[in-house]
Amino acid sequence: MPNDHDQIVPSRRQFMECVGWIGTGMLWTVSAGVPATVGLIGSAAAETTQADFTFLQMSDSHIGFKAGPYQDVPGTLTAAVDKAKALPRRPALMLHTGDISHFSKPEQFDTADKINATLGLEIYHVPGEHDMLDPGKKLYLSRYGKNAKGDGWYSFDAHGVHFIGLSNVTHMGPDGQWRLGADQVAWLTGDLRGVRDSTPIIVFAHIPLWTVYAKWGWGTGDAATITPLFRRFGSVTFLNGHIHQIVQKVEGNIACHTARSTAFPQPVAGTAPHPGPIMTIAAGEVGDYLGITTATLHTSDSRLAVTDTSLA
Amino acid sequence: MLRALLTAAVLLAAPLAQAAGTTVAINDYTFTPGTVTVHPGDMVTWNNQDSTPHTATSLDGASFDSAAIVPGGKWSFTFKTPGTYKYHCAIHPDMQGEVDVQ
C-alpha cells in the first residue's frame, strides 16, 4: 500500500510558502515564518496556468457598522465585489471568513447576501462573533448553517482540495482566548481520518487559528490541539479574518494567512490602546486599507498562492 | 386579611426595587469607571456609547453575562451577594472591569 506521507511530503514541504500580493503590488514570500519581498505583481501572475484553481476569500464585511471615515460599509463591500468580478480569472468559489454583519440583524445579513450574490459564486460561510450576537445564536445558523454541525463547522471537497470551515466564535476561555471546543475537535479528528495525505487542505475560520496577540483575544486558545492532526498532510493552509489586516506565518507544514476587511482596518497588534477601528484615516484613503484575497492552487505542486488586493 | 398582607408586602418591596443605581459607561473600548462599589441589592447599568457591540461578562463564568449590548443599548444587573466581581467584554477580552459589592 503506497504511503503518501513518505513519498510526497518531503518534496512538497519545500514548496510550503505563502505568497501574497499586498495592496502595493509587491509579491511576498513567507518561508519559515520570515516574510521577504521577492518581486512585483506581474511575476506572480506569470505563474498561473489555466489548470490552476482559483478561489476568493472575503472577510469582515460588518454590515451595520457606521462610524468615523467608514460611513458606507455596504459601499466598500460592493467595491470589493466589483474588484472580484474584474479579476482576470473567474474564481471557482468564495470563502467568507465571518463578521458578515455588525449586529447579527436580519437586514444586515440581507444586505450582504444581496451584494455577494452578484458575484454568481458558490459562497461558503463560517461565523464571526458579530454574526452570533442574537440570543440563542440561531440566526446565522438558520441562514448559513443548514449543512453545518454544532456552531457552524463543516467540510467539503472541491477541485481536489479538502476545505474545512471551523467555528471559533461562540466560546471564550477565562484567558480571553477563543476556543474550538472538544466537540468540534472530535468532529475534525474524524473528518480528517478519511482524507489522503496528498490532498491539499484549506481550513477557514474567523478567529486566527494561532495566537496573533493574546491581549486582544486575537487567537484560538485550543488550536494547539488540532495542529498535530495536520502534520501528515503535504499542503495545509489556514485562512482567517477577524483582525482586519494581513498577517502571514508558516509554522511547520501549515501556512497561515489573515485577510483584510471590506469594512474598516484595525491597528497592528499592540500599537494602539485597543483593537478598535483605526479612526484617523482620511475618508478618501479608506480603500488603501480594505481588500479581498484570492488564492490559486498550483496543480503542479499543490502550492497555494494567496493574493491580497486593496480596494484603492 | 391575606390580601392586605400581600398589599403590604408589595409596598414594602417597592423601595428595594428602586435601590440606588450605578452606571458604567462603555466608550472607546473601555468600561468607565473601571471599578464600581455598590451595596447588596443595588443595580448596575452598563450603557454602551461605543460604535461596536460589547458585553459585561463575569470572569467566573456564572455570576452575570449581559450578552451583546448594541451601541446605544443598556443592560442592568442587580447584585444581591457581597463579593468582588471581575468582568470583561466577551468580544474584546482586554476590556476589563470590577464590581465590588459590600
Nearest to A133 among B30, B61, B68 (CB): B68
Q: How far is B33 from chain A (nearest CA, A)?
A: 17
Give the number of A-B residue pairs with CB atoms closer than 8 Å.
53
**CA-closest candidate to residue B54, choices B80, B31, B21:** B31
Is the ipTM reported for this complex over the cut 0.90?
A: no
Contact call for A276 and B91, based on CB within 8 A: no
Q: What's the rounded Cα separation, in Å, for the pair B4 and B10? A: 10
* CB contact B62 to A (< 8 Å): no
pLDDT in tens, chain A (312 residues): 333 333 333 233 322 222 232 222 233 333 333 233 333 323 344 344 445 677 888 899 999 999 999 999 999 999 888 888 887 778 888 999 999 999 999 999 999 999 999 999 999 999 999 999 998 899 999 999 999 999 999 999 988 889 999 999 999 888 889 999 999 999 999 999 999 998 889 999 999 999 999 999 999 999 999 999 999 998 888 999 999 988 888 888 888 888 889 999 999 999 999 999 988 888 777 777 777 777 766 655 555 666 676 766
Q: Which long-range contacts (CB under 8 A, 24 or more apart) does A180-189 make?
A: A180/A220, A180/A222, A180/A223, A180/A225, A180/A226, A181/A150, A181/A151, A181/A222, A183/A150, A184/A150, A184/A151, A184/A153, A185/A222, A185/A225, A185/A226, A187/A149, A187/A150, A187/A153, A188/A153, A188/A164, A188/A226, A188/A229, A189/A229
Q: What's the rounded Cα separation, in Å, for the pair A236 and A7? A: 17
* CB contact B68 to A (< 8 Å): yes
**CA-closest candidate to residue A122, choices A144, A153, A106:** A144
pLDDT score for A12: 32
**Would you report the helix, strand and coil content of chain A in percent, each value rounded to 5?**
25, 25, 45
- Reported as a single tens digit per residue, the pLDDT across B56-90 is 999 998 999 999 999 999 999 999 999 999 999 99
Strands A94-96 and A53-58: parallel
Cell of A279: 479612526
Instruction: With beta carbons less than 8 A apart as the criterion, state whether B42 and B64 touch.
Output: no
Nearest to B53 among A68, A133, A174 (CB): A133
Nearest to A172 among B51, B67, B90 (CB): B90
Cis peptide before A265 (omega within 30 of 0): no
Q: How far is A114 from chain B (nearest CA, A)?
A: 23
Cell of A210: 494561532
**CA-closest candidate to residue A58, choices A98, A105, A101, A108:** A98
Cell of A13: 514541504
Closest alpha carbon within chain A to B61: A174
- Count the residues in chain A: 312
* CB contact A266 to B (< 8 Å): no
Q: Which of residues 3-32 of B touch A (CB under 8 A)?
A: 28-30
Q: Which of residues 36-95 of A touch B (CB under 8 A)?
A: 65-68
Among B26, B27, B29, the strongest candidate for a mutation testing the A interface, having the largest count of A CBs within 10 A, is B29
Q: What's the rounded Cα separation, in Å, for the pair A27 and A306? A: 10
**Cα atoms found within 13 Å of the Cα of residue A309, Cβ hemisphere only:** 19
Give the type of residue at B47. N
Burial code (b: 16+ CB inside 10 Å, e: under 16) for B40-71 equals eebbbebbbebbbbbbbbbbeeebbebebbbb
**CA-closest candidate to residue A257, choices A205, A303, A182:** A205
CA A143, A144, A147, A152 dihedral sign is: negative
Closest alpha carbon within chain B to A133: B68
Contact call for A135 and B67, based on CB within 8 A: yes
Q: Is A170 helix (H, G, I), strand (E, B) or coil?
A: coil
